[in-house]
Structures are given as C-alpha cells and as structure tokens.
Amino acid sequence: MKKRRLAGRAVNPVGLGCMNLSHAYGHPPSPEDGVKLLHKAVELGVDHFDSAALYGFGSNEELVGPALKTVRDDILLVSKCGMQGIDGKRVIDGRPEALRKTLDDSLKRLQTDRIDLWYLHRYDKLNNVPIEDSVGEMARLVDTGKVGAIGLSEVSAQTLRKAHKVHPIAAVQSEYSLWSRNAEIAVIDACAELGASFVAFSPVARGFLTDVDLDPENFAEKDIRRGMPRFNTPHFEQNQKLLPAFREIAKEADCSPAQLAIAWTLHKAPHIHAIPGTTSIGHLEENISADAITLSPEIISKAEVLINQNTVSGPRYPASTQAEIDTEEFDQTA
C-alpha cells in the first residue's frame, strides 16, 4: 500500500474499523475470533485501528488494546470520547470533566499510556456544550502526553473551523461512501484546506455495497440497521434495484463490489482514509487489497451516476439520531 498521512504519521490508507467486533451489528464474534481477526489485520499490513469508548460499552477497547500490545509502537491506535455507555444506555457528554474520565478509563482498557488519535465522537450540541470547551479540554490532555492528536467525528465544516481555532484538528471521521455523499458538501474540502485528514467509516454502506445479498428481515435484534431508513420498507426495496448494475461495474473494474466501493472512496482525494469493518477474515483480506485497485475515470463516473444522493432512497439516519449529528446533509426526505 502507498501510505498517507494521518495524525502526523504515514499509515496505510485502508485501516480497520473495530466496532463490528463488539457492537452494532447484532451478534459479535467471540473474543478469541476477534483477536484472530486483529492479528490477521496486522499480518496484512493494517497499521490504523479505530475503536471507541462507546463500542461494546468499553469491551471493544478491552479487546483491541491487549490484542495489539505487541505491535503497539508500530500502529496508529485510535479511540473516541464524548459518547459512551452508562448504566446500559448510550450517553452523549462532551463536558470537560466527562472527557477526562473517559480518557483515563480508555487508557486502562487499552492497556496503553497514550492514544495516538482521539476523536470527539459527537459534538455535544444536545447539552449545549460549546465545541470550544470540549476541544479545549482535549487539547489540555494532549499536553499531558496521554493523547497524540485530536479528531472530530460527524461534524460540519463550520464546527471543524471553530474547533481548529482552539487546537489543530488532525482528522475528521464521518460516514462516506457512494450512497452517503454528504461529506462532499463542505467538510472534505475543509479538511484539505486546514491540513486535516478525512477518515471514511462505512465505505461499503454498512454492508450494502457488497456481493452479499442482505435481508433486513434476518438482521439480529440489536442490529443498528434495523432503525436506519435505507434498510426499511419502502426504501430498501428501491435501493436493491441499484445493486445489479453496481455489481456489473465491479466486474468491469475486475474487482469485487466491496473493493470498488472502498477504492472509489480512496480515489476521491489524497487525504482520505477508509476504515471498513468486518468480522470475516475473508472480507478483511478483500477490503485491505482495495488500495491496490486503480479505477478508470469511466468506472468512477459510472459508479457515481448510478449511486448518489439522488438515486438512493431514504435518509441515512432516523430523525432522532440525525438530531445528534452536526454534519451538513442533502435535502433527502424521500
């Protein structure tokens, strides 16, 4: 892989989103299988691992940290604060005192003395915590040596610029794929302008842009996609109509649909990284190799014309979740 800069380091552009190993998509793998996948990722050259205090309400950090301890100095270890599990409930809290406690707890779970890139998982606008207050505290924690660099997740370009005035922001992480293009409105360009990286999570559209035929009726009870409009009637049936043509484009590009989706993301700008997640070693190998794929302008154009904000049916989040998100959004209520 040709490396790209992130948080002051050169890392491979396809990292690993670790959420799936503990959280969000129903039944996670056993800890033993999770460790095997993490070790395989290292073997394949992954050097960017993304966790969060929220994932598995701490159990993801407890898995990731010890599993990667032997290669700790060779990887970019990433986590997030500002959203976590408290008494069995997901809580957003960007107050300085909450962030301090989250950091100490995360360091213990990760079994490390520093987090290389620490994101504010959510800008706490629901509790009216100014972004300057949250980032100001994160900056003070950088000064302690416990944090290497600061990032933000799911924020607008305006919020990014406010935060950047307080302390340099190394990266913004947001959902970005062919079917979630809202980052193109402003924040990808704002990152380039400010010298920040952009990290795309869910680059394969939460499993949709693959060769796996999803059936939402079979999603596990706690699978977060059950609450996402694009996976519900009538939107899912409309979106399914896009897949045959997308898979044909992948064949034309001589790659899998997932590889096409990830490679497309990386082709959009040199400061973009992708962090697909998976519980499958086969899919891990497939995802990591996407960086080696060169897409022609014709392939890129075909994919973008087929799948974009005007052809995808349904918003990416339900209204209750969208209220917590600070990103710019297309007017997409269909």
Q: Which of the residues are catalytic? A: 55
Q: Is 41 within 8 Å of 67 (Cβ atoms)?
A: no
Neighbours of 298 (CB within 10 A): 11
Question: How far is residue 328's CA from residue 334's CA, in Å, rounded to a whole number?
Answer: 17
Strand partners, 147: 115
CA nearest 279: which of 13, 16, 11? 16
The set of long-range contacts for 126-133, using a CB threshold of 8 Å and a minimum separation of 24, is: 126/92, 126/323, 126/324, 127/92, 127/93, 127/94, 127/95, 129/93, 129/94, 129/95, 131/94, 131/155, 131/159, 131/162, 131/163, 131/166, 132/162, 132/163, 132/165, 132/166, 133/94, 133/95, 133/96
Residues 330, 312, 307: CA angle, nearest 5 degrees: 100
